[in-house]
Amino acid sequence: MPRPVQLHVMLSEEEMSSLRSLSDSIDMTVSDTVRILIQAGENSGPVGLAMLVFDRKTLVRYVRNVRSLGHLLNQSTHALNYIAKAVRESGVDALDLTEALEGVSRELEELKRDAEAIREQGARLADAPVVYER
- Report yes or no on 63 lying in a domain: yes
The pLDDT value given to residue 44: 57
Contact yes or no for 39/129 (Cβ under 8 A)? no
Report field, pTM of the whole predicted structure over 0.85? no
- Report yes or no on 4 lying in a domain: no
Distance (Å, whole) CA 40 – CA 110: 35
Residue among 109, 97, 99 at smallest CA distance from 73 = 109
Distance (Å, whole) CA 85 – CA 79: 10
Residue ranges making up the domain that contains 23: 13-132
- Report yes or no on 65 lying in a domain: yes
What digits encode the pLDDT tens for the residues 58-104? 777 777 887 888 788 788 888 878 777 777 777 767 777 777 778 77
- Report yes or no on 6 lying in a domain: no
- Report yes or no on 90 lying in a domain: yes
Classify residue 128 by its DSSP letter: S
- Report yes or no on 2 lying in a domain: no
Q: Which amino acid is present at 18?
A: S
Total tally of structural domains belonging to the chain:
1
Task: State the average pLDDT over residues 30-46.
Answer: 73
- Report yes or no on 5 lying in a domain: no
